Structure 1
Amino acid sequence: YPGYTSYASLDDLPRRASVFAQLKTRLDRHARAYAEALQLDLGAGRLRLDSLWVNILKSGGSHTSHIHPHSVISGTVYVAVPPGASALKLEDPRLAMMMAAPPRRADADEDQKSFVYMAPQPGTVLMWESWLRHEVTVNRAKSERISVSFNYAWG
């Protein structure tokens, strides 16, 4: 893996550094608003940030397709996105059920494409439901792409 991630080795960043505690406060507001927009019925439970980690993706690095089990909302805050940096690739969840479907036209509307590519800028915050398969395409930038990713659990 050409890069570094603190996932599973340093997931208590909001307790370790005040800058991450401030980030958590802001993300908590966004997660509540996003859950409301998704019309989630949280009942007596609430969303809580249960992991927050740093990613440093070197040139040539990627992160293969995956989901975030045991989470409700996942996302990323983009810190450094140099020219040519990799995009976030989101997969249409219907893809596995389109066994005999013809491919989509190149000019298809974004909500009909099999994959959507998000090219973030520094400061961008993206959130998605944790079941959504996604990946980080190859970083073609000459320098590192730096981000902070997170998961919200329900309980």
Structure 2
Amino acid sequence: MKNAAARSFGEILQKARASKALSLGEAAKLLGVPKTNLWRWESNETKVDAQRLVDIAAAYGLSVSEMFEGNIVVAPTQTDFDRLGEVVEHIELIVQDLDLRPNPKALRTAVVEVLRLETSRVLDTHGTKFDPSRYDAMVYGILGQSA
């Protein structure tokens, strides 16, 4: 993987747009520019002026320094937080059915694994509903119980 210094500014713009899961058309509309302009910036065919850079950073929820440095970190979305809440609630219901309170590390592992697996499944299979219950047997196993 290239480091930030080796990446072109166009690549940084592409990564910033991708971090917000925006298509080229959606991002152009958000920025109020023709799609061809955005494509040219991302392809390094034309340069972005300073004011436009400020606008792009603001539209993508980034700072200008993040754009310059190429340090574009994808922040959790409200959907991510909602899914985490669903997993915690679901696992808490399982815990309430157990005779013993599980080890906190085992509980953490169960939450993290269910969230990781189910998020990957939903992302890989578009149109499917987020459903942490499909991992109940795994959760019971992690918590040291049989389902």
What TM-score, normalized to structure 2? 0.28
Q: Which has the higher helix share?
A: 2
Q: Which has the higher strand share?
A: 1
| Bigger relative contact order, structure 1 or 2 (CA pairs below 8 A, ≥6 apart) | 1
What TM-score, normalized to structure 1? 0.27
Asked which structure has the greater CA Rg, the reply is: 2
